[in-house]
Amino acid sequence: QLQLQESGPGLVKPSEALSLTCTVSGGSITNSGYYWGWIRQPPGKGLEWIGTISYSGSTYYNPSLKSRVTISEDTSKNQFSLKLSSVTAADTAVYYCARLRPQWPEDWGQGTLVTVSS
Amino acid sequence: EIVMTQSPATLSVSPGERATLSCRASQSISSNLAWYQQKPGQAPRLLIYGASTRATGTPARFSGSGSGTEFTLTISSLQSEDFAVYYCQQYNDWFLWTFGQGTKVEIK
């Protein structure tokens, strides 16, 4: 059974970079037919797509975040990662990683809360 | 950017009753719409994709309909486990997804 687990710091200082990793078990991130992505949800608010990486390593980013986002993969560890630079309080959110079909998230991680605060 | 508008923001329904949730797109998205259910403290769960296709494990009491700009999620007979927040998501533009703001289904 596929499992996704987010990991990374829960507290990031303003202007610094947020880095999260999603570890996938029960399936390979290089399996064609699936893409992998990040979605976030500010406390008490709705969902926002951040970006996607394909099984071949192609990336797609939300235009509103594109200048600050990098998604990468480590196929040897079956992981993919998110880096969001120059964070502000507005980036405080629960960050989810997900397996995509490829245009909708089919399986989700449990999410990890990242707070931006000094 | 395609804007998704869900209504109502909150829907109060008694167990066993029918619930009808609406989602409107700011431009036509064909049938490129998914629905998710989210319970407190949990990740969203995919219910419907392609506007009307139930995802694996989605109970038959959930049904989706619509195309173009108007979409509906219907829960035919609400069970206690169905009280949650529901989101729609359009994926008409390749990786330019947007979500609605959510409809909370609460116990009346």
Pairs of residues, one from chain A and one from chain B, whose beta carbons lie less than 8 Å apart? 48
Whether residue A32 has pLDDT greater than 90:
no
Note the pLDDT of residue A102.
84
Q: Report the gap between the CA of A14 and the closest CA in chain B (Å).
A: 25
Tell me the two tokens of residue B40.
């407190």
pLDDT tens, position by position, B75-89:
999 999 999 999 999
Residue A31 pLDDT class (50, 70, 90 cuts):
confident
Q: Which residues of A69-101 are buried (b: 16+ CB within 10 A; e: fewer)?
A: bbbebeeeebbbbbebeebeeebbbbbbbbbbb
Q: In this predicted model, what pLDDT tens digit does every residue of A41-74 receive, in sequence order?
A: 999 999 999 999 999 899 999 999 999 999 999 9
B93 pLDDT higher than 90? no
Q: For residue B32, give the chain A residue with the closest CA.
A: A103
Contact (CB<8Å) A104/B43: no
Six token digits for residue B107: 């116990």
